[in-house]
Amino acid sequence: MSASTRRAAGALGVVTLLSLPVSAADRPTAPGTAYPLLTSTSSPHNATSTDNEVSRGTALYWSYCGACHQANGEGVAGVFPPLKGSAVVNRADATKHIDIVLSGLQGARVSGVTYTNPMPALGATLSDADIAAIIDYERRAWGNHGSLVGPAQVASERARLK
Ligand code: HEC
């Protein structure tokens, strides 16, 4: 295990122990130093419910994905692939993006790199609404421009995979 893998795995252990949802006031500061950074990198919106979805998506991303794919979405070279600029994340059809979160991924080749670490399946852990919030966050963070999904699309994909 490389130092960066260990660090990511350790951080994941810590963040997944934090129970969600937590109010902004209760939210622990570690790894919260990255929250302002993540919030400021999401694209500007009107003050609508979309903002709530984005900030929920940001927090959930941190708890379930950020330890590996990192706050800046760039992953860890050769260990965890970047989501920033990823074809899966930017493709208009979000089916594969949803499938990977529901079912995980192993031994895939991403932009010429084969990752030895598996991506964990999170379908049993996360609700359709949580998965949609995370995916939509990823699709508008870090300059990404994938079309957005919603809980209904995640639900129908979950049903299709059964
Ligand atoms: C334990 C580390 C880890 C966690 C946590 C994790 N991933 Fe991954 N993810 C990976 C690895 C490793 C791969 C590459 C797997 C492969 O190619 O076989 C990957 C691949 C992906 C891909 C495909 C990227 C591409 O360009 O093909 C997407 C999308 C993705 N992850 C999204 C997520 C989301 C969303 C979450 C949180 C809900 C998450 N990941 C949590 C390790 C992780």
pLDDT digits (tens, 9 = 90+) for 72-86: 999 999 999 999 999
CA nearest neighbour of 132 among 110, 157, 112, 114: 157
Q: What is the pLDDT of residue 52?
A: 73
Whether 102 and 162 have beta carbons less than 8 Å apart is answered as no
Instruction: Please name the residue ranges forming H helices in the chain.
Output: 3-17, 34-41, 49-64, 66-69, 87-90, 95-103, 128-140, 151-161
Q: List the domain boundaries for the chain.
A: 3-13+45-161
- Residue 65: pLDDT over 90: yes
The CATH superfamily holding the domain 3-13+45-161 is Cytochrome c-like domain (1.10.760.10)
**C-beta separation of 81 from 113 below 8 A:** yes
- Rounded Cα gap, residues 116 and 108, in angstroms: 9
Angstrom distance (rounded) from CA 144 to CA 131: 17
Q: Residue 119: its pLDDT value, please?
A: 96
Residues in contact with ligand 1 by the CB-under-6-Å rule are 12, 64-65, 67-69, 80-81, 83, 86-89, 97, 100-101, 105-108, 110, 115, 117, 119-120, 122, 134, 138
- CA neighbours within 13 Å on the CB side: how many for 127? 9
Alpha helices in 46-150 (DSSP H): 49-64, 66-69, 87-90, 95-103, 128-140
- The whole-number average pLDDT for the span 153-157 is 97
User: Is 90 exceeded by the pLDDT of residue 122?
Assistant: yes
pLDDT by residue (tens digit) across 2-47? 555 555 544 444 444 333 444 444 444 444 334 433 433 334 443 4
Q: What mean pLDDT is reported for the chain?
A: 79
What's the rounded mean pLDDT across residues 90-102?
A: 97
**Residue closest by Cα to atom 34 of ligand 1:** 65
